[in-house]
């Protein structure tokens, strides 16, 4: 029977031997203790999972976490995926140390929907039960579970189990859906191999969807993987959605390449990082302050990583206090802005604090800098526009919309809205670079600086080379924005052209309104040079001869003479056929006519025959004939030429 899935994960929490696994068995009929050692010792060591059929027939997932103090890291790994928690407290013992530590973890991870379940009520009388209930209320005061309903049950007699099922069903209906759109993210909590299938991973899909055949990335190692098969509660499916417990058969990795704490995610959406910026909160009941460079255990998602605390504006953080900090990690993690984390001391291993990730991949900051704290405040609580504007101002680099999604942690829908507002003229503190179908964000201050620099450099180029139409675009890119992608640079120039700052024509960049019209004196020199080539016909002067004559007759230096030749070629008043070979267009036309007429009569001719027919020399005839070949006037057969239209032998 296929049941409707709720995409909700119900989890347990509580002290060891308070009846969590027995409660799950009473609710689901499944014993989540799967390891031999667990069954022998009677306690949970690893996370346990089971499908949970609710009274209304819908299917949820249930996660049973270990309660022993030695296995709190497994509890943290499971708690991160919970939507609704059952805080289990044995009525015969009441609130115990791990009850409090698990409650701290729930507080730090902000698992706010929950039910307090008093188990083993068959072992106590009513008077004792009332005392325990009061103790529980007192312990929960001020916590995320302060208003949680309290239910009394017995997994042995079944008392209270139906009522608990009904309450769970009622509360499951209030759980908001996890985001199914956008990137997929699956923190891995179990890895094993299946005969005939290979590597299988399990976890709670916290965002997006997974589909059979999807190409994904295993983080933080950046290993490409593909989904070979997909299961939800033991049923093979083609699609899994956020909020479901999934088992994924991965193609492309060996069992030894995967471990708990890794993340399967949409390609190029997470960045492995050894340093993260956080809002750090220290628990009130922590024994001592957290000090600068304290070694800690950083728990995020299903991963535990050792690291050190770097406090940005103080040397220690007192119990109950909070501040911005960075965690410098010994192994990379793959987290996002907004992810919750738990911090445990290195030794003794106890929960001391936690909080929220502000930057999933952070640069090293200098201490005691007010501007650093202000920047982190914007990253933490700023609007999407403020966060994007801040990133652009700090980096000075252009960002494509796709890059903004990843770098700033914005949704594609939000990015589209920012683009629409910017295009409508709304003042956002963000500039748009547009051109050739591409779009980039840039800080307005950076755009203004670049505009001034472009005008300065292009104007200087015009002053140095007044006869040229402009400077090659690539010459300016290497000098000004060498690290930018080519499309971003093109979008910058297109934007400056739209603003009337510059003119762009093909590969040439010029200042707005610039023309390379020669001054009268220079115009006379150009006409003189053009006349020399016209008179030379098919035996034109060499550039060296032109430079010498110009210097002798007009006092023009050789560099200016080079510019004259380049200008005449650009204006098509001369044609360049080789490094030092220039012809007047009339000479080329006469040569074409003479060769065409000769071949029309004789059919074919050698280089020597054409040399004699045109009155040229071999030095010029060979490149001229190669030009006619390119123009498809003639065609070479061995050492002879024929008209292109005439077939060969």
The CATH code of the domain that includes 108 is 3.40.50.300
Domain final residue, candidates 353, 373, 393: 373
Query: 194 lies in a domain?
Result: yes
Q: 475 lies in a domain?
A: no
Q: Is residue 490 part of a domain?
A: no
The greatest distance separating any two alpha carbons of the chain, rounded to the nearest whole angstrom, comes to 128
Let me know whether 395 and 299 are in one domain. no
362-388: b (≥16 Cβ within 10 Å) or e: beebeeeeeebeebbebbbeeebbebb
User: Within 226-383, where are the H helices?
Assistant: 370-381
Q: Are residues 130 and 164 in the same domain?
A: yes
Beta strand spans in 312-396 (E): 316-317, 322-333, 340-345, 351-359
* Domain match, 557 and 539 both: yes
Positions of E strands within 487-578 = 502-505, 508-511, 575-578
Last residue of a domain, one of 558, 583, 608: 583
Tell me the C-alpha distance between 305 and 75, whole Å: 15
Same domain? 158 vs 220: no
Which of 179, 192, 164, 104 has its CA nearest to residue 140? 104
Find the length of the chain.
Answer: 649
CB-based contacts of 483: which residues, under 8 Å, 6+ apart? 397
140 near 150, Cβ under 8 Å?
Answer: no
Would 513 be classed as within a structural domain?
no
Identify whether the C-beta of residue 412 lies closer than 8 Å to the C-beta of residue 182.
yes
| Phi, psi (rounded to 5 degrees) for 187 | -70, 130
Do 54 and 135 belong to one domain?
yes
Q: Is 536 exposed, middle or buried (0-12, 13-18, 19+ CB in 10 A)?
A: middle
Vertex 434, ends 429 and 437: CA angle to 5°? 145
For residues 40 and 132, state if they share a domain: yes
Q: Where are the beta strands (DSSP E) in 364-501?
A: 431-435, 438-442, 471-472
Q: Per the domain annotation, does 473 fall within a domain?
A: no
Q: What pTM, to 2 d.p., does this model score?
A: 0.74
In a domain, 416, yes or no: yes
48-53, strands of its sheet edge to edge: 48-53, 59-64, 5-14, 84-90, 114-119, 150-152
Strands (E), 15-83: 48-53, 59-64
C-alpha closest to that of 4 among 318, 233, 158: 233
Radius of gyration of the chain (CA): 38
Q: Please report the beta strands in 482-542, taking only residues with DSSP state E, as ranges in sequence order.
A: 502-505, 508-511
Chain centroid, CA 480 distance in Å? 25
Residues 142 and 73 in one domain: yes
Q: Any bridge partners for residue 84, and if so which?
A: 10
Residues 226 and 315 in one domain: no
Range of the domain at 324: 273-373
| Residue 47 sits in the same domain as residue 109 | yes
pLDDT digits (tens, 9 = 90+) for 19-61: 888 898 888 887 754 434 433 333 333 457 777 888 887 788 8
**Residue 98 CB burial class (10 angstroms; 0-12, 13-18, ≥19):** buried
Specify whether the CB–CB gap between 311 and 371 falls below 8 A.
Answer: no
CB-based contacts of 209: which residues, under 8 Å, 6+ apart? 180, 184, 239, 240, 241, 242
Sheet holding 502-505, edge to edge: 471-472, 508-511, 502-505
Q: Are residues 156 and 216 located together in one domain of the fold?
A: no
b/e burial code for range 201-210 (CB count within 10 A of at least 16 → b): bbbbbbbbbb
Residue 98: per-residue pLDDT: 84
Q: What is the CATH number of the domain that holds 363?
A: 2.40.30.10
Q: Is there a domain that residue 316 lies in?
A: yes
What is the Cα–Cα distance from 575 to 581, expressed in whole angstroms?
8
* Domain-located, residue 180: no
Q: What is the CATH number of the domain that holds 597?
A: 1.10.10.10
pLDDT lower than 70: segments of the chain: 1-6, 32-47, 66-73, 75, 78, 647-649
- Are 378 and 366 in the same domain? no
User: Structural domain tally of the chain?
Assistant: 6
Q: Are residues 256 and 316 in the same domain?
A: no
| pLDDT value at residue 70 | 52
**Domain boundary pick from 583, 598, 629:** 583
Q: Decide: 248 and 200 in contact? Cβ < 8 Å.
A: yes
Cβ-defined contacts of 611-615 (< 8 Å, 24+): 614/538, 615/537, 615/538, 615/539
């Amino acid at each position: 029977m296929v049941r409707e899935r709720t995409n909700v994960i119900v989890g347990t929490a509580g002290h060891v031997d308070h009846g969590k696994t027995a409660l799950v068995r009473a609710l689901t009929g499944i014993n989540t203790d799967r390891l031999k050692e667990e069954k022998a010792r009677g306690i949970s060591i690893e996370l346990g999972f089971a499908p949970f059929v609710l009274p209304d027939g819908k299917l949820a997932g249930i996660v049973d976490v270990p309660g022993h103090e030695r296995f709190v890291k497994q509890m943290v790994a499971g708690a991160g995926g919970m939507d609704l928690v059952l805080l289990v407290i044995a009525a015969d013992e009441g609130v115990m140390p791990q009850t409090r530590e698990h409650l701290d973890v729930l507080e730090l991870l902000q698992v706010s929907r929950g039910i307090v379940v008093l188990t083993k009520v068959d072992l106590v009388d009513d008077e004792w039960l009332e005392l325990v209930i009061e103790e529980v209320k007192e312990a929960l005061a001020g916590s995320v579970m302060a208003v949680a309903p309290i239910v009394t049950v017995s997994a042995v007699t079944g008392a209270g189990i139906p009522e608990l099922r009904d309450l769970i069903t009622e509360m499951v209906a209030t759980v908001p859906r996890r985001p199914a759109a956008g990137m997929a993210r699956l923190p891995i909590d179990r890895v094993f191999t299946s005969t005939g299938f290979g590597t299988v991973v399990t976890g709670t899909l916290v965002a997006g969807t997974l589909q059979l055949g999807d190409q994904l990335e295993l983080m933080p190692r950046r290993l490409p993987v593909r989904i070979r098969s997909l299961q939800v509660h033991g049923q093979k499916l083609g699609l899994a959605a956020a909020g479901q417990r999934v088992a994924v058969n991965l193609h492309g990795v060996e069992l030894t390449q995967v471990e708990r704490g890794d993340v399967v995610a949409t390609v190029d959406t997470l960045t492995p990082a050894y340093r993260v910026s956080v809002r750090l909160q220290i628990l009130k009941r922590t024994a001592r302050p957290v000090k600068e460079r304290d070694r800690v255990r950083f728990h995020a998602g299903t991963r535990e990583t050792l690291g050190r605390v770097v406090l940005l504006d103080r040397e220690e953080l007192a119990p109950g206090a909070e501040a911005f900090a960075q965690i410098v990690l010994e192994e990379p993690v793959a987290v996002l802005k907004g992810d919750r984390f738990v911090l445990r001391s290195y030794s003794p291993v106890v929960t001391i604090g936690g909080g929220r990730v502000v930057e999933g991949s952070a640069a090293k900051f200098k201490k005691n800098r007010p501007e650093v704290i202000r920047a982190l405040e914007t990253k933490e609580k700023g609007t999407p526009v403020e966060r994007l504007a801040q990133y652009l101002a700090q980096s000075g680099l252009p960002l494509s919309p796709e890059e903004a999604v990843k770098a700033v942690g914005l949704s594609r829908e939000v990015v589209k809205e920012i683009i629409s507002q910017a295009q409508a003229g709304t003042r956002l503190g963000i500039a748009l670079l547009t051109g050739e179908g591409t779009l980039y964000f840039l800080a307005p201050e950076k755009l203004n600086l670049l505009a001034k620099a472009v005008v300065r450099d292009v104007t200087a180029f015009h002053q140095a080379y007044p006869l040229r139409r402009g400077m090659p675009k690539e010459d300016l890119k290497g000098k000004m924005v060498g690290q930018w992608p080519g499309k971003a640079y093109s979008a910058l120039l297109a934007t400056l052209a739209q603003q009337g700052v510059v003119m762009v024509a093909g590969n040439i960049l010029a200042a707005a309104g610039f023309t390379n019209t020669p001054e009268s004196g220079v115009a006379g020199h150009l006409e003189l040079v053009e006349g020399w080539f016209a008179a030379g016909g098919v035996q034109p002067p060499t550039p060296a001869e032109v430079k010498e004559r110009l210097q002798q007759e007009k006092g023009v230096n050789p560099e200016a003479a080079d510019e004259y030749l380049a200008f005449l070629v650009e204006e098509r008043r001369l044609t360049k056929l080789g490094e030092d070979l220039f012809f007047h267009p009339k000479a080329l036309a006469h040569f074409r006519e003479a060769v065409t007429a000769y071949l029309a009569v004789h059919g074919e001719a050698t280089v020597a025959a054409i040399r004699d027919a045109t009155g040229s020399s071999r030095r010029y005839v060979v490149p001229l004939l190669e030009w006619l070949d390119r123009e498809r006037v003639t065609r070479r057969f061995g050492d002879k030429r024929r008209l292109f239209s005439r077939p060969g032998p």
